[in-house]
Amino acid sequence: MLETYTISSLGVPLVTDQSVVFNVDSEDTDCRINHDAGTAIVEINKPGYYLVKFNSTGYNTGAASTVDSSDGTYSFQLFNNSVEVPNAQARATSTASTAIANVGFNTIIRVRPSCCAIDNNANLEVKFLGQEGMLLDATLIILKVA
């Protein structure tokens, strides 16, 4: 099963903790994964293991400094139900439009079975962690592996 969500709008400005909005659902193979084009949350509602791949191109528009570690970085983090997913972060140093960065991560998400009393659905969201940035494109691919 493959689900792909892509944003390809040139020049989408980003600020710290802003979620990436995915405008295009290019493949929607069944009901395991739900996403409404133009929103940031991707819901996985069936149990299993899922490979999540994120890739983005853009640059940081804030000036690099030693005061704030987010200055000068083009950085993204995956969140599941508003909690950071360990090892699902991508970052590169980029301080101007002349230093375009291509960053990405791959991770496995486990979704446990749900019941009427417990909702174990995964609500995935990719957030920008840099100071200010310009998103040139981003792709999110989710593949059920088991």
Q: Is the pLDDT of residue 51 over 80?
A: yes
pLDDT in tens, 122-134: 999 999 998 888 9
pLDDT of the residue at 28: 65
Cα 10 from Cα 7, distance rounded (Å): 9
Per-residue CA distances from 20 to 5, 26, 119, 145 (Å): 11, 16, 24, 24
Q: Is the pLDDT of residue 12 over 50?
A: yes
C-alpha neighbours within 13 Å on the C-beta side of residue 58: 34
Instruction: Reduce the DSSP state of residue 73 to 3 states and report it.
Output: strand
Quick one: average pLDDT of 27-38? 80
Its pTM stands at 0.88
Q: Which domains does the chain have, with CATH numbers?
A: 2-144 (2.60.120.40)
Quick one: average pLDDT of 71-90? 92
Q: Is the pLDDT of residue 50 over 90?
A: yes
The angle at the Cα of 108, spanning 7 to 137, to the nearest 5 degrees, equals 15
Q: Is the pLDDT of residue 66 over 50?
A: no
